Structure 1
Amino acid sequence: MRRSELVAAFKSDINTVWDVMTNNKDFSWRSDLDRIEILDKENFVEYTKDGFSTSFKITAKEKPHLYKFDMENKNFKGKWIGEFRETEDGGCEITFIEEIYIKSKVMEILSHLFMNLKKMQDTYVRDLKVKLGEDV
């Protein structure tokens, strides 16, 4: 199993951060995605710019504090947890926890070279700050 945890702070209020992150219809701010296919209320598929797809199933969506989903593609399955907290200055702090299980031993080894979870999370936060109009 691979695990990555990230904590990030935003100047924007908790509801704004929540609304942007949970709106799969507006993904244009995500530099890593080509498109999102919404299947139904709980299921969607993300396609990277390279055409790689990952399926997601929302398992908890408790506005504006908790967002969880399971994810799977041909190489891994896992889960993602997003926890949102309001800060004293009216901003928002988030914690992302991602756990993935690589489906093959060979891919597990290669994933450490070609699948930097922390870098992926950092890119997401950077893109989100740009979308929110915050300094990057």
Structure 2
Amino acid sequence: MRDVESQPSWRSDLKRVEVLPDKGDRRVYREIGDDGATTFEITDDVANERLVSEIADPGRAFSGHWVFQFAPAEGGGTRLTLTEVGDVPNPALRFFAATIFGWEGSTKRYLADLQAHLAKS
């Protein structure tokens, strides 16, 4: 999750990542994928506990962040919990997201791609 530069090699929806200049102590990067380009900023990063990646594109039709939480897994390894916190202020876009696209599509695809990548390792 922290190695954003390598994510295009295992994420099915991501063509490339551009690392941008940091904002103070916050890492900034742009993902270019099936849905266009989106800029993200790491707003919280606690090793072995939590990583928060927030959309940093003002003026978009939606905003939000992903919270990656890490914990020791029973039997060894690491348990990942991924939570998407978003805001879609436009009622029409909210309708389409709720009825056609689904709220969990991005996180489900990310986790499926991650699981496939880890299975190869």
What TM-score, normalized to structure 2?
A: 0.81
Mapping 1:1-136, distance limit 5 Å = 21-27=1-7, 28-41=9-22, 42-50=27-35, 52-73=36-57, 74-133=60-119
Conserved in 1, the CA contact under 8 Å of 2:30 and 2:39?
A: yes
SS at match of 1:97: strand
Structure 2 CA distance, aligned partners of 1:106 and 1:72? 22
Deviation digits for residues 87-128 of structure 1 (CA, Å, limit 9, x no counterpart):
131121111111111142222222223432323212111111
**Number of residue pairs aligned between Structure 1 and Structure 2:** 113
Gaps of 5+ in 2: none
Provide the secondary structure at the position in 1 that maps to 2:5.
Answer: coil
TM-score by length of 1: 0.73
SS of 2:11's equivalent?
coil
Contact 2:14 2:31 in 1 (8 A): yes
* RMSD, matched Cα: 1.8
Determine the C-alpha separation between the residues in 2 that align with 1:72 and 1:58.
9
**Which residue is equivalent to 1:7?**
none
Letter in 2 for 1:133: A
Question: Which of the pair has the greater relative contact order for Cα pairs under 8 Å at 6+ separation?
Answer: 1
Deviation at 1:72, TM superposition (A): 4.7
Distance in 2 between residues matched to 1:36 and 1:115, nearest whole Å:
24
Q: What is the Cα deviation at residue 47 of structure 1?
A: 1.4
